[in-house]
Amino acid sequence: MVERKKQNMEIDLTKLLFLYLRKWWLILLCAIVGGGAMYFYTANFVTPMYQAGVTIYVNNIESGQQIDYVSGSNLTASQQLVSTYVNIIRSDTVLEKVADSMEMDISAGYIRSIMSASQVGETELFDVYISHPDPEMAALIANAVAEVAPGEIENFVEGSSTKIVDYAKVPSAPYSPNYRKNVMMGAAVGAVLIVALLTIRDFLDVRIKKEEDLLEISDLPVLGRIPVFTSGKGQKR
């Protein structure tokens, strides 16, 4: 009985595969419709976001101190300080001063919500990015962070210093949304939905269409069948 169930399962999977192959045009059509719908939604209802960033260098040597060379231990200490510096930049103390320096109706919480900061690989550098629908505003806020943050960081972490490697430039193109990714996602959703619908419809179809369907639901042998006659014109009767 177990072997027969396994055989029936293999037959079912094969039948589903042939079903998908017969309906390839429908699956392709639904994928195209899904991708087109996602493109239309992205183009008309998703706000483009621009990203501007600054790059900051971390040093565990106090600003103005003269050194002959930078040792490996100094570099390691600088790398370990990066995560601390990132958390300091995201603090209310720093961001409130950034907001005050801009002399605009903007809050520290809002700047934090559109800001991201991360270390550049395993180096002593870290990037601060600002995402905003207005490219000029994104660059303005990012540069305000670059002007205020280094001095505030040095006040918190004694015996260390920071330098701005790159200031923010006004981005010329949005970084979000990703049209290609969204269209592919919409196409995949459309294809999956129609495949699921075809599968459910096949499982719910309990009609007996051929001899194998009888053998799957009963152990009784088939005693006969009604032949299909065709006329001289090739039409079935």
pLDDT, one tens digit per residue, over 76-133 is 656 667 778 888 899 999 999 999 998 888 999 999 999 998 888 877 788 999 999 9
Residue of 2 and 182 predicted with greater confidence: 182
Domain that holds residue 24: 2-45+178-213
Cα dihedral 214/215/219/223 (nearest 10): 70
pLDDT at 234: 54
pLDDT at 84: 82
pLDDT in tens, 42-91: 999 999 999 999 998 877 655 444 444 444 455 565 666 777 888 889 99
Question: Residue 172: CB partners within 8 Å, gap ≥ 6?
Answer: 135
Q: Are residues 197 and 112 in the same domain?
A: no
Rounded mean pLDDT of 5-10? 47
Structural domain includes residue 32: yes
Structural domain includes residue 171: no
Q: Are residues 105 and 139 in the same domain?
A: yes
Over 90: is that where the pLDDT of 228 sits? no
User: What would the DSSP string read from start to end of the chain?
Assistant: -HHHHHHHHHHHHHHHHHHHHHTHHHHHHHHHHHHHHHHHHHHHHS--BEEEEEEEEEESS-TT---S---HHHHHHHHHHHHHHHHHHTSHHHHHHHHHHHTSS--HHHHHHTEEEEE-TTSSEEEEEEEESSHHHHHHHHHHHHHHHHHHHHHHSTT-EEEEEE-----SS--B--HHHHHHHHHHHHHHHHHHHHHHHHHH-----SHHHHHHH--SPP---PPPPB-TTS-B-
Structural domain includes residue 218: no
Q: CA 171: distance to chain centroid?
A: 21
User: Domain tally for the chain?
Assistant: 2
Over 60: is that where the pLDDT of 201 sits? yes
Q: Are residues 62 and 150 in the same domain?
A: yes
- Residue 140's pLDDT band (boundaries 50, 70, 90)? very high
pLDDT at 237: 54
Q: Are residues 95 and 152 in the same domain?
A: yes
What is the average pLDDT value for the chain, to the nearest integer?
81
pLDDT at 71: 43
Structural domain includes residue 173: no
CA distance 117 to 86: 6
Q: Are residues 93 and 119 in the same domain?
A: yes
Q: What would the two tokens of residue 30 be?
A: 């639904």
Rounded mean pLDDT of 36-43? 95
Q: Above pLDDT 90, what percent of the chain?
A: 46
Q: Are residues 41 and 103 in the same domain?
A: no
pLDDT at 161: 76
Q: Are residues 35 and 108 in the same domain?
A: no
pLDDT at 55: 93
Give the H/E segment covering residue 110: helix 108-113
Q: Are residues 162 and 71 in the same domain?
A: yes
Structural domain includes residue 236: no
Q: Are residues 29 and 111 in the same domain?
A: no
Structural domain includes residue 219: no
- Residue 207's pLDDT band (boundaries 50, 70, 90)? low
CATH (domain of 114): 3.30.70.1130
Radius of gyration, alpha carbons of the chain: 33
Please state, as a whole number, how many other Cβ atoms lie within 10 Å of the Cβ of residue 175: 14
Q: Are residues 127 and 101 in the same domain?
A: yes
Q: Are residues 18 and 57 in the same domain?
A: no
